[in-house]
Amino acid sequence: MNVARIAELLQPFLDAVPNACHSEQVRRSGEESAVLSPTQLDHISMYIDILTRWNARINLTAIRDEEEIVTRHFGESLFSARCLFPDASASEAVRGRVGVADLGSGAGFPGIPIKLWAPGIQLTLIESSHKKATFLREVCRSLALTDVDIQNVRGEESVQTYDIATLRAVENFEEALRIAARLLNPEGRLGLLIGSSQVELACSTLPDVIWKPPLPVPLSQSRVLLLGESEPK
């Protein structure tokens, strides 16, 4: 897909990030917009091509239109990436020190776009489907991504813990939430891309998590990013 068009479609997700996402230093600087690098745009274009080819053989996403794939999948994922890693120097600041688990990764959202945004993270993609896990390996190989661990297991079988766990479009939402919480290190963070109707359920399912007000996803009437932090032990 044309990278200029990708950049145009993604800009609304990169323009305005709510203050709740920012560190105090970034808020003082007033730098709240971002531009993807040519390498990031090239990787997104390659990712879309691979996804389109594989989607003809296995059901990775019900969305077939490439522009809608950009906005619905990449836009939403990059919005969460900016909120989890808002500083412009995130890729260097977190190098080798932040572990992120994407539970029920499916076609790789939001995990792989978060990795494209902050290359220094150690990313784990947890996906129980063998075919989808094989797809994820193909994407990571084609994009030459490093420090990515693809676990072809159910979430409850994962024994590691992480600084951040993300969820998007998972089955058995309540069960997945509890699993995600168990994957967190002390004072770890959750990043949930969900419908606004699921916010109350998330808060009631994990009452010990300190939840921030939900952040509306740009260009969506119902999608939100819900961020939470584990209470200090």
Quick one: pLDDT at residue 9?
97
Angle at 31 between CA 26 and CA 32, to 5 degrees: 95
What's 75's DSSP letter?
Answer: I
In tens digits, what is the pLDDT along the chain, a chain of 233 residues? 899 999 999 999 998 665 556 544 444 444 567 889 999 999 999 999 999 999 999 999 999 999 999 999 999 999 999 999 987 445 555 566 899 999 999 999 999 999 999 999 999 999 999 999 999 999 999 999 999 999 999 999 998 999 999 999 888 999 999 999 999 999 899 999 999 999 999 999 999 999 999 999 999 999 999 999 987 65
Q: Strand ranges (DSSP E) for 94-208?
A: 99-103, 122-126, 148-151, 162-168, 184-195
CATH number for the domain spanning 140: value is 3.40.50.150
Number of domains in the chain: 1
pLDDT of residue 208: 94
| Boundaries of domain holding 7 | 3-230
End-to-end Cα separation, the chain, in angstroms:
47
Report the predicted TM-score, pTM, of the whole model to 2 decimal places. Answer: 0.92
What are the start-end ranges of the E strands in the chain? 99-103, 122-126, 148-151, 162-168, 184-195, 209-211, 215-216, 223-230
User: Rounded CA gap, 75 and 10, in Å?
Assistant: 6
* Residues paired with 102 in a beta bridge: 125, 166
Read off the tokens for 46. Answer: 């390659």
Give the residue among 211, 208, 142, 207 at the shortest CA–CA distance from 194: 211
Q: Are 123 and 150 in contact (CB under 8 A)?
A: no
Residue 71 CA from chain centroid, whole number:
14
How far apart (Å, rounded) are the C-alpha atoms in residues 178 and 188? 14
Residue 76 and residue 80: Cα distance in Å, rounded?
6
Q: Residue 74 and residue 139: Cα distance in Å, rounded? A: 14
CB atoms under 10 Å from CB of 223, counted, come to: 19
| Residue 20 near residue 27 (C-beta atoms within 8 A) | no
**Given the DSSP bridges, would you call strands 162-168 and 99-103 parallel, antiparallel or unpaired?**
parallel
